[in-house]
A = this chain, B = another copy of it.
Amino acid sequence: MARSTRESILTAAAELMRHRGYAAVAMKDLAAASGAPIGSLYHHFPGGKVQIAREALVNAGAAYGMLIPTLVDPHDDLGEAVEALFAQAADDMAATGYANMCPVASVAAEIADTVDELRQATAEIFDGWLDGGAAYFTKRGLPPAQARDVTVALVGALEGAFILARTLRSREPLLVAGRVLAPGYRGVALGAHAAVPG
């Protein structure tokens, strides 16, 4: 598990942005958290802070995009899957002391109007989640239009419930989201298990 300096910088960036967003993370913090001196940050990322943030978000986004397929995969009924998904997210959040699971949404909200390079990056990540989720649910037998709607609704509801849950330090928003969304999908059968995209 010998990680390169580059990787440790990106890992540190994702970890710090997960908690503080973009503007509140300083290059000095990235140097301290990664163990690399400031000079190395600019050696590996000549584009500076924006480039580091962009690559860290892309990495984190790819990992996070497998969350829905991974958690849905064991289930054969879409309603059950949805309820389990939100219950699992609620438990994870509570277990981590209501820290954010993923830096993408936090950063996206902060920079959508100001740092266009990052807005484009977060948009591509979201698009990847939506396309990947739609492809996954299509493979499990849903009609393409429903597969996409389910994915968009799940990602949106998850992100919104994450913000509420984190701020209120309560599992309620996540549990309610699952409870409200699941009935509409109860009885919708999921077909043969597909390989989780990666």
Contact = CB atoms under 8 A, between A and B. Distances in A.
Count chain B CB atoms within 10 A of each CB in A19, A106, A150, A181 and give the residue with the most. Answer: A106
One complex includes copies of this chain to the number of 2
A80 interface: no
Interface in A1-53: 19-24
A100 B110 CA distance: 10
A91 interface: no
A21 B118 CA distance: 15
Give the secondary structure class of A's interface. Answer: helix
Interface in A123-168: 123, 126-127, 149-150, 152-153, 155-164, 166-168
A61 to B, nearest CB: 12
A164 B168 contact: no
Contacts of A177: 152-153, 156-157
